[in-house]
Amino acid sequence: MLPLKDSPRARRFPLINYGLIVANAVVFFIELTLGPARLEPFLDRFGLVPARLWTVVWTDPASIIAGVAPLVTCVFLHAGWVHILGNLWFLYIFGDNVEDVMGHVGYLVFYLAAGVGACLAQAVLHPADITPLIGASGAIAGVMGAYLFVYPKAKILTLIPVIFYPLILEIPAWFYLPIWVLLNVFSGALELAGAKVGNVAWWAHIGGFAFGFLIALIIPKHRRHAYAVAP
């Protein structure tokens, strides 16, 4: 289900959200300039390798800063055009409204923290994984979790691909976003059971979404009510 637009209009210019989109794009174009020979070590260095993270945490605390830095840097890396375009489109749709209610600085801190929380969720469930974890989807899932709490009555204009005729429907956020996260839970559960369900960090999505929803609980009520969307 591809979101095309949402009903709430941001009341302030989403400076940080646009800045994050640009930052991701710039880093991706840097990746494109590296070439295959240099790209792999670049992703290995700045992506999050769960096995390496836990090795540093438990056996080399003196290197803890360098060891945990990939929890942040990995959020700005992507594996290809489909990966980055999909992530940045979701960030464009949902991020401006969350920034609206959190404010610029609060939103930036929240986004980075959501990325860290999402990566930790994946690393906890796959502690021996040596494949670098990259992508902004965990942080964006956090944005979507916060969006669900603050804007449950928002309408999401959605493209639903059907074999013969694509459907475009207006779906309320309280339905669209739980369906999205439940699909991730289903895929993540299959993966834990041993099935191969795509090269996707499902538990980063789930962890990020849960983090975002829980953080949204502490947004002052007067701010949440000011940005509530009527049905």
Q: What is the CA radius of gyration of the chain?
A: 18
| 231 assigned to some structural domain | no
At 143-168, the pLDDT tens digits run 999 999 999 999 999 998 887 778 89
Q: Which whole number is the average pLDDT over 159-183?
A: 90
- Say which amino acid occupies 158: T
Cβ within 8 Å of residue 163, ≥6 positions away: none
Tally of structural domains, the chain: 1
**pLDDT tens per residue, range 105-115:** 999 999 999 99
Which CATH number is 177's domain given? 1.20.1540.10
Residue 53 forms part of a structural domain = yes
Q: Write the pLDDT tens digit of every residue in 76-128.
A: 999 999 999 999 999 999 999 999 999 999 999 999 999 999 999 999 999 98
Residue pair 54/123 in contact (Cβ under 8 Å)? The answer is: yes
Judge contact between 110 and 146, C-beta under 8 A. Answer: yes
* pLDDT level of residue 231 (50, 70, 90 thresholds): very low
Residue 196 lies in a domain: yes
Query: What domain range is 153 assigned to?
Result: 2-226
Confirm whether 24 is domain-assigned. yes
CA 41 – CA 26 distance, rounded (Å): 19
- Report the distance separating Cα 39 and Cα 220, nearest Å: 44
Q: What is the pTM of this model?
A: 0.91
Residue (of 190, 182, 201, 139) closest to 1 by Cα position:
182
Residue 8 amino acid letter: P
